[in-house]
Amino acid sequence: MERSVFEELVQQGLARIPERFRRLLRNVAILVADEPTPAQLRKGGVRPGSLLLGLYEGVPRISRYGQEPMLPDKITVFQKSIEAVARTPAAIREEVARTVWHELGHHFGLSEHAVRRAEQRRR
């Protein structure tokens, strides 16, 4: 899939986030990269042979305690990783939306376990 099309899917995924959460997004960069770097794989706690679909890097909003301004948080969505698990355009669109939701959960301070529980409730 061309990068511009994938980036549009990321924007569409962001647009699916309920307004009450989108309105709280400040100082967050959402980027697309082909694949995670070795350092990002370590940060994401990814085991060898596993894929990292997205990564949140920053200080969760719940932990800031009024310390703004800070460097922007960063959410990276990894295109080749998502394309490896989702083969059709529709499946890619859904996986991108799930990944954006997941990483934004971390931005708002949810642990990996809490994000996964919230994802199960959403389904």
Please choose, from the candidates 92, 93, 91, 99, the residue with its C-alpha nearest in 3D space to the C-alpha of residue 119. 99
| CATH code: domain of residue 67 | 3.30.2010.20
Whole-angstrom Cα distance, residue 95 to residue 93? 6
Flag whether the pTM goes above 0.95. no
- For residue 78 the two structure tokens come to 């990894």
Helix (H) / strand (E) element for 55: namely: strand 54-57
22, HSE (Cβ side, Cα atoms, 13 Å):
10
Domain count, the chain: 1
The count of other CB atoms within 10 Å of the CB of residue 90 is 9
- pLDDT tens digits, one per residue of 5-64: 999 999 999 999 989 888 888 789 999 999 999 999 988 889 888 899 999 998 776 666
Full domain range(s) for residue 36: 3-122
Instruction: Order across the sheet with 73-78: list the strands.
Output: 28-33, 73-78, 54-57
- pLDDT tens digits, one per residue of 58-114: 877 666 666 666 678 899 999 999 999 999 999 999 999 999 999 998 888 878 878
